[in-house]
A and B are shown apart, each in its own frame.
Chain A
Amino acid sequence: MKSKKVLHSYIGALILAWLVVLMLSIVESATYPGFVLKHLYVDLLSIIFVVVILGFFIKIFLKIERNVPNYLEKVAICISIILSVVVFLCNFIEGISYTNYIFSRFHVHPKLLYTPLFLSYFGLFLFIKKDTIWNKSNNAGLAKYFKTIYKVRTLLLIICFWLIFQNLTVIWQVLRNDILFMVKHRESTVAEKMRYKVGDKFYKFVDFVQKNTPPYSTILIPPQGYPWPQTGNPSYIRYFLYPRKVVVGKEYEANIDLLKSNIDYVLIAHGETDTTEFGFTHGWPKFDVPSDYVLYMEDDKELIRQYEHMYLYKNSIGKEQWGIIKIKK
């Protein structure tokens, strides 16, 4: 009698815990990620983790099946069906509209709905009775079970096609621009495709550097990091400049004796991105360089070659410049 009371209290606690995390996850999907943490000072994921582990333990080791109220099974089935339909509809509508449509229209985060969906299926696992799924006296194998229970197979099929549709939607979102470019620019050259993919600014610049430096020269490049994620990455830029060698400089100094070293050229690189990091700012080199000449790359103009004995950093402050400096030896 006492052990039955204890068992009932475990089941009661489990039901309450499941309902609470389910409600909290639905609330979070209707508000914002972190809502529960902010207002209740508890991480929702941690609570779900604990409830799931406890639920597994109670279900498998305490064998609660006979003591679970019948209505609870129906509640779990209803909730999982409703949530499945809602999640499907949200993803379907978002897929045919645009990203964030559901959030902007209904203030619901479709991705966060997976958590209550998972919890509803977990509820099915906890509360559904064996007899509801298969007839034990037949000792039916899984194959026969699926042959006879057409509703389950139909549901699985719907889930599969829903997944396929969702996947196709994601693929379209990821590759849409590439596919449209391919359709609209069927006759484009390799250079045009490269400019589309690696960035117009960067590709034009490396093309300029290639054409205006000898193949076996050594070039000093900006430090690695935004705003020079490509021009400052030695492994990346060497692909475009090979067989030229590249040496990485620092922002405010060359980090190498330019007169004594075998550096032939120094890049002038404003920065191919607006973003910066590590405290870097646009414009490089930010130090003076002894030069034979400086060659600037200008948009749609002839190259400008300036014979300067010294590239002075102070003259380039505030200007967006791209070019190369031929080191004076």
Chain B
Amino acid sequence: MNIILILLLIVLFGYFLTKAIIYDTGFIESVGLSFLLGMGILTFVIFISSWSGIHISTDSILVMLSILILITFFVCIKLNRKLFIFNHWSFRSFNNMYLYEKLLIIVIVAMLTISLLLSTFYPITVWDALALYDFRAKVIAELGFFVQIAKNYEYFSHYPLLTSLMHTVYYLFGGTNPQFLYSIFLFSFVAIYYIFIRKKVTRFTALVSTLLMITIPRIFEHSTIAYTNLPYTVFYVSGLLYLYESYVNERYDYLLISSLLIGLSTWTRSDLPFWITPILFVVFVALNKKSIKALIVYLVPFLLIQQPWSVFSASMFGTGYSTAGQLSMAGNSLLTGIDINRLINTFIYLYKNIFVEWGALLLLFVVSAFIQFRNKFDKKSLFLLLMILLNILGLFFSTYVFSMRFSEWKEIADSAVRMSIFFPPLMLYYITITLGENDE
């Protein structure tokens, strides 16, 4: 019972935070964002508070959560947000849908149900979760601290704490198997993805695209296991979609949400360099508009979330593990001469292990890009293409830099594949809005 209560409180906090930032979210979008923001921000606050000496326990978590709920609730009241007023069209309109649309929804719901059944039925057994994420969750739940005890354990501090603290909260409140939370990440992602797609294309096209997204094998598989890759994908892709929408609709509230989501992606996994792409994008927008506002709105929350773990990593492993240190090392690898042979090998490695797996999706992406390039209209969606291409470049160069530093770089192909599971949903979104039929 306790665990249901704490999860509801987390979602409530996330809901108030969503409403405080975006005034016009619908029911589905609110549901999607509530869990992501609620769980992400709560785990971050727990980390910061325990670093400053507060014991992690059910009492302290309840106090923190209560404070967060109260603050966000009062902000909503102050801003006159319409709380708990749900748009009922989503229920009525199901009856009004065509049969084939209903069938698509049924298949999507069936897939989500299967994911939930699998993640609930099986205990946590995947390698990295046993070796790190779930192990330290149990240790933190037992000892009540992290920073203070991290040096006592080998392989304990190499990744940020979002998923581990998520498990810790679950264990402290009486749960025994937190793996179903990864299915909840998938639910949230489906909600956000559908809402964004639906703004651009017909309901049928949006449902087909959503079904295609949820059936991407790696995405679905990761919703049933306790790896960090799906949470990272959900945070990062959702963040990019909000970033893109903030640019298209010139909305700073979307930009703020994007900043929080991408910041939380670094709170899930800090070893991936893709957070640089949105920053470049925001810098470009700021330069274009000759206004620093976008930069401040994006950078401040993002850095507030990203930097603490970077500082902690540097304190544990040396300055090379800070953000500046990592960027400096990467820069050195690139500036000390480009190895053409290694560049070619990197491309072949990525082609064989990642691009081939994308299969027909990559083909459709290339076709969509070609059509858009040739048509030269809707310049704003060209920026979405640019974001994706920058990420692909980031993947390429980060793999190249990794290969220069580690001789066994080719032996961890599975890690490379897992690192890039956010590309297919992003490409699919782009393909759908480029080739899909809109509601005109």
Contact = CB atoms under 8 A, between A and B. Distances in A.
Band of interface residues on A: 35 or more
Interface string A36-63: 0000000001000000000000000000
B130 A121 contact: no
Given A143-B440, A159-B360, A174-B217, A239 B131 contact: yes
B211 interface: yes
B121 A193 contact: yes
Given A45-B351, A114-B359, A167-B217, A143 B438 contact: yes
B364 A159 contact: yes
A242 B440 contact: no
B211 A153 contact: no
A156 B435 contact: yes
A45 B348 contact: yes
Contact of B437 (A45, A147, A159): A147
A114 B435 contact: no
A234 B440 CA distance: 60
Among B123, B138, B215, B361: residue with most chain A CB under 10 A: B215
Interface string A164-183: 10111011001100110010
A182 B121 contact: yes
Among A118, A167, A182: residue with most chain B CB under 10 A: A167
A129 to B, nearest CB: 13
A190 B123 contact: yes
B221 A174 contact: yes
Nearest to B130: A239
A233 interface: yes
A182 B113 CA distance: 14
B154 A170 contact: no
Interface string A233-264: 11110111010000000000000000000000
A171 B370 CA distance: 31
Interface string B350-390: 01000010011101100100110001011000000000000
B118 A182 contact: yes
Interface in B124-156: 125, 127, 130-132, 134-135, 138-139, 154-155
Nearest to A169: B217
A198 interface: yes
Contacts of B356: 111, 114
A239 B437 contact: no
A235 B348 contact: no
A175 B212 contact: no
B208 interface: yes
B312 interface: no
Given A121-B363, A141-B377, A235-B131, A194 B208 contact: no
Given A167-B212, A174-B221, A242-B135, A142 B434 contact: yes
A164 B211 contact: yes
Nearest to A248: B154
Interface residues of B, number: 48
B97 interface: no
B272 to A, nearest CB: 21
A235 B154 contact: yes
Among B130, B139, B216: residue with most chain A CB under 10 A: B130
Contacts of B440: 143
A147 B440 CA distance: 10
Nearest to B437: A146
A164 B375 contact: no
Nearest to B432: A160
Contacts of A143: 437-438, 440
B212 A163 contact: yes
Interface in A123-155: 125, 141-143, 146-147, 153
Given A167-B215, A175-B224, A234-B154, A239 B122 contact: no
B220 interface: yes
Contacts of B224: 175, 178
Nearest to B121: A182
Contact of B377 (A142, A153, A236): A142
B228 to A, nearest CB: 16
Contacts of B130: 198, 236, 239-240
B437 A242 contact: no
Contacts of B132: 235
A175 B118 contact: yes
A197 B125 contact: yes
A89 interface: no
B217 A193 contact: no
A81 interface: no
28 contacts: A45-B351, A111-B356, A142-B371, A142-B377, A142-B378, A146-B435, A153-B437, A159-B364, A163-B212, A163-B359, A163-B360, A163-B361, A167-B217, A167-B220, A171-B220, A171-B221, A175-B224, A178-B118, A182-B118, A182-B121, A193-B122, A197-B122, A233-B131, A236-B131, A239-B134, A240-B130, A242-B135, A242-B138
Interface of A: 45, 111, 114, 117-118, 121, 125, 141-143, 146-147, 153, 156-157, 159-164, 166-168, 170-171, 174-175, 178-179, 182, 190, 193-194, 197-198, 233-236, 238-240, 242
Give the 5 A-B CB pairs with smallest separation, nearest first.
Answer: A197-B125, A167-B215, A235-B131, A239-B130, A170-B217
Given A111-B356, A118-B363, A193-B122, 17 more contacts: A114-B356, A141-B377, A142-B377, A146-B436, A147-B437, A159-B364, A163-B360, A164-B212, A168-B215, A190-B123, A193-B125, A197-B123, A197-B125, A235-B132, A236-B127, A238-B135, A242-B139
